[in-house]
Amino acid sequence: MNSEKPEWHNVHGITQEEMYGKHDDVMAKYGDIIDMPHHVSDKHKPMSIYNRAAQFAPFAALTGYDDAIRKAARQEEEKLYQ
């Protein structure tokens, strides 16, 4: 196994052997782009981690659920201190 690349480098489930040895067709197809540096825009600042996460977050299927949980917790706390 070629240990020059860390495991996280492989994002498509291709083994190191497939990329760097046994399967020449993978390198023939993608060899010119595999080791290219990540592009960083000169025009746009990077998106914040919070906004990036929100972009991929699912919609709130249970609208109001969080409020209901908080209300129930508050009511239980009030019972404890009465």
Indicate the domain borders of the chain. 7-80
Cα separation of 4 and 34, whole Å? 13
Under DSSP, is residue 51 helix (H, G, I), strand (E, B) or coil? Answer: helix
Cα separation of 36 and 77, whole Å? 56
Q: What is the pLDDT of residues 13-40, one digit of tens each?
A: 666 666 666 666 777 788 788 788 988 9
| Lowest-pLDDT range of 9-13, 56-60, 65-69 | 9-13
- Burial pattern 9-19, b for ≥16 Cβ within 10 A else e, equals eeeeeeebebb
